[in-house]
Structure 1
Amino acid sequence: MNSVLSALIRALQTLFHPKMLSLVLWPMLVAVALWVGAAMLFWGSWVNDLTGMVQATPLEQWIAHGFLAVVSHYLIVIILMLLLLPAIYVTALLITAVFAMPMMVDHVAEKYYPELERKRGGSNAGSIANAAVAIVVYCAGWVLSLPLWLFSPLALLLPLVLMAYLNQRLFRYDALAEHASREEYARVIERGTVKLYLLGLAAGLLQFVPLLNLFSPVYVALAFIHLCLDELKQLRQTVQDSS
């Protein structure tokens, strides 16, 4: 827990460096522009498609009676918004992971971990594959869990659980790709799984805080860089002490 808290504090300190401030807003602004533009073009078809999907499930009988029948259109719109808002945030995270992580890793490593040897166990192909797996699993979890949101108190927990998974899966690879060997990467993930998920959960809370969520993708990325590089540093120290 101390490692997670330390990563969050160091990430906050790092965030206010001019190099990092230059990265803060543009991932979210680009994501908003992409999805707002898509909504302007396809909103009608999205509503129709989602309505057809609902009508093909048992939810149709539940919605088709009484007061819910009157507001069914608005329920469809609300469900669509529930899908659109995390889509914007996830897109901002993906943009940060793909385009901004190399600069952030270099900055954090040079300032806080200059002694770490760069073994370059990762690759661009590995980064793309890792991001693809993270996004596919996250989106599948969102879609499959939507019915539970209507009938279960788990509606409050499911977004956080999914975001914790996405955060740790999306950023851990790129945070370590430059410095860790493949073997070291596997050992860091094995040793730090609980810490990674705790950090992912803590970082996931930021998506629900207005204004803070505008710059949270970069902040979250910095926190994972600090945690992962610190875990790698400790791993190497442990190996050195035992040899």
Structure 2
Amino acid sequence: MVGLQQVFKSFGMALVGTMHPRMLWLSLRPFLIVSVLWGCLIWLTWTPALEALSVFLTTSIFTSWIQEGLVWAGFDNARAWIAPLFFVMLIIPLITISLLVFIAFSTVPAIVKIASRNSQFHDLECKQGGGFFGSLIYSLWSAMICLALVMLTLPVWWVPPLVAVLPPLLWGWLTMRLMSYDVLAKHASSEERDLLLEKYRWPLLCMGIASGMLGAVPTFFWATSALALVLFPIVSFIALWIYSLIFIFAALWFSYFLLDALKQLREEELDKALTVESRVVDMELPFHG
């Protein structure tokens, strides 16, 4: 039975697999693409975005108290860095979610293919329970839900303890949703996928949160360090690659766990079918005597 032991076993297999050159390349590809796209977008919008945010933070009754409170607390130059800090806080979730969705949509199938080459999964039948459009719709819908949750909770990200708690929970939930669907899309039927996600909901959520906690390290530094604000382009570039590597590891972790769970499920169903067939034969034998 797939349980805690299998969670740790798949964790170890994923940890070793992540160090493979092929996996490192798979982490670089989405990182480079997303970095270029967001780099161009930030470069084009940095100045007008800061000007708009500065006006909004100064004039809005909902945010003007932040600057006044910082000045009252002794941060006389708060007006100089509050707008860039707000911009960074707003852009971090968008970059992270876009990277995770891109990896789930474009890279996870390749990772599942590599994981399925393991000897224990050679005879695992592919039932194609998910497809291209199903994955796209599921990924976008999950990302929209996560983004809405981020926007609702973003104001309390300023509270130091919560900046290390909320991101792991949000990234963990999104990681669980995206990885679980895409890992099983090729090998499991839709019925098998629903059954596995229901049966192993809590282990999968814990795996997602654990992955989110790993991803919270760059988030925490990104959101709380003055150095990250000054060197935002460089720091964001490094942090984004760390995110990418963590998400690749999570994809491997979910792949090994769910493929093994699927194998166990089919073995259990086969045993049940053989048991029922054996009982039917035993019941019919006396009538053929």
* TM-score, shorter chain, exceeding 0.5: yes
Partner of 1:233: 263
Which is further off, 195-204 or 142-151? 142-151
Distance in 2, Cα, partners of 1:215 & 1:6: 20
Distance in 2, Cα, partners of 1:13 & 1:32: 26
Partner of 1:96: 103
User: Which of 28, 32, 40 is 1:29 aligned to?
Assistant: 32
Answering whether residue 221 of structure 2 is matched by residue 218 of structure 1, we say no
CA shift at 1:151, angstroms? 4.6
CA shift at 1:194, angstroms? 0.6
Partner of 1:61: 65
User: Which of 84, 97, 122 is 1:77 aligned to?
Assistant: 84
Which is further off, 116-125 or 73-82? 73-82
C-alpha spacing 1:221/1:241, structure 2 compared with 1 (3 Å): same
CA shift at 1:84, angstroms? 2.5
SS of equivalent residue, structure 1 residue 117? coil
C-alpha spacing 1:17/1:68, structure 2 compared with 1 (3 Å): closer
C-alpha spacing 1:144/1:172, structure 2 compared with 1 (3 Å): same
Pair member with larger Rg: 2
Alignment of 1:29-48 (within 5 A): 29-48=32-51
Distance in 2, Cα, partners of 1:12 & 1:89: 21
Distance in 2, Cα, partners of 1:138 & 1:52: 28
Which is further off, 39-48 or 86-95? 86-95
C-alpha spacing 1:53/1:145, structure 2 compared with 1 (3 Å): farther
Partner of 2:171: 163
User: TM-score scaled to structure 2, two decimals?
Assistant: 0.76
Distance in 1, Cα, partners of 2:60 & 2:264: 53
Alignment of 1:61-210 (within 5 A): 61-65=65-69, 66=72, 67=74, 70-111=77-118, 112-151=120-159, 153-207=161-215, 208-209=217-218
Distance in 1, Cα, partners of 2:201 & 2:111: 22
Distance in 1, Cα, partners of 2:125 & 2:252: 19
Per chain length, whose mean CA-contact separation is higher, i.e. which structure has more relative contact order (CA < 8 Å, sep 6+)?
A: 1
User: TM-score scaled to structure 1, two decimals?
Assistant: 0.89
Which is further off, 55-64 or 140-149? 55-64
Equivalent pairs, count: 243
Give the conservation status (yes or no) of the 8 Å contact 1:165–1:197: yes
Structure 1, unaligned stretches of length 5 or more? none
What is the Cα-based RMSD across aligned positions, in Å?
2.3
Distance in 2, Cα, partners of 1:78 & 1:233: 48
Distance in 2, Cα, partners of 1:230 & 1:241: 16
Distance in 1, Cα, partners of 2:250 & 2:97: 12
Q: Deviations over 1:10-29 (max 9, x none)?
A: 11222244433331212112
Distance in 2, Cα, partners of 1:195 & 1:31: 30
The letter of the residue matching 1:28 is F
